[in-house]
Amino acid sequence: MQIFVNGQAHTVERDATVSDLLRELNLSDRPVVTELNGRALSPGDCSSTTLSEGSRLEIVILAAGG
């Protein structure tokens, strides 16, 4: 099924969770902030939140610096 990640079309398996997608994108071990369809997700929500056709996911990778 097709979703949008940071505005770009992306194909995922049906019943994929946000955590599944983060693993696929090699981001599961990085500090990220996720927003699904305009709603911020806590890290704990990612494993139980299922993506659906047309979902819009924004992923921001956090970086320390000064």
What pLDDT is attached to residue 66?
64
pLDDT tens for residues 8-34?
A: 999 999 999 999 999 999 999 999 999
What pLDDT is attached to residue 65?
77
What pLDDT is attached to residue 16?
97
Do residues 6 and 59 touch, judged by C-beta distance below 8 A? Answer: yes
Instruction: List CB contacts of 46: < 8 A, sequence separation 6 or more.
Output: 17, 18, 19, 22, 34
pLDDT tens for residues 24-66?
A: 999 999 999 999 999 999 989 999 999 999 999 999 999 887 6
Confidence of residue 5 (pLDDT cuts 50, 70, 90): very high
Give the per-residue SS3 of the chain: CEEEECCEEEECCCCCEHHHHHHHCCCCCCCEEEEECCEEECHHHCCCCECCCCCEEEEEECCCCC
